A and B are shown apart, each in its own frame.
Chain A
Amino acid sequence: AQKVTQAQTEISVVEKEDVTLDCVYETRDTTYYLFWYKQPPSGELVFLIRRNSFDEQNEISGRYSWNFQKSTSSFNFTITASQVVDSAVYFCAPAVSGGYNKLIFGAGTRLAVHP
């Protein structure tokens, strides 16, 4: 079965530290899309990034960056100089073709950033 693993259940850092959230997935597809979502304590789900599998360039958006490695099926997310407002649960979600391209969400990584 195609699945996604976010091995870090919880991460706790102090403000201004850099932190990387790992995501490893399984897929039989050669082309596919990957997503990251953020769920802050308020509960809403916020889209962060979409990546297609045929573009292996790393992406940076402000303090956020993503490292996609197709060879190892990983799509890691780094927050540079973390802030308290980054405290949230972060979900990695690949889209799997075997299931009509539905998103398979990882279990999430809870990030706590302390002042």
Chain B
Amino acid sequence: DTAVSQTPKYLVTQMGNDKSIKCEQNLGHDTMYWYKQDSKKFLKIMFSYNNKELIINETVPNRFSPKSPDKAHLNLHINSLELGDSAVYFCASSQVQGRDEQYFGPGTRLTVT
């Protein structure tokens, strides 16, 4: 069984479009995250949610809006996509933020043309 899943795996779109990435975890964890990995492999947290409540909101443009309908799901919606948004986006989950290991989804490679 897949622990943390993301869809789609690849996303190619044009500048200005709006897109969403979905994430689901079946580990029963309370906390979920979104990370962005750039072309140099630098990995940075964007958001974290604990039981549907936003905990971390890094300095991410307002065009990025996470939504957590329940603690097993954390989706990422991006408005007005820009070239600089091209990256790999990882969803992750853990039980307690900062104490427990995080389990990552397979990643979504977003390419904005």
**B-contacting residues of A (Cβ < 8 Å)?**
32-33, 35, 37, 39, 43-47, 50, 89, 91, 95-97, 99-103, 105, 107-108, 110
Contacts and interface: CB of A to CB of B under 8 A. Distances in A.
B56 interface: yes
Contacts of A91: 43
A100 B41 contact: no
Contacts of A35: 101-102
Given A89-B41, A95-B98, A103-B98, A44 B56 contact: no
Contact of A100 (B55, B90, B104): B55
Nearest to A96: B98
Interface string B74-99: 00000000000000101010000111
B43 A100 contact: no
A102 B48 contact: yes
B87 to A, nearest CB: 12
A103 B99 contact: no
Contact of B48 (A47, A100, A108): A100
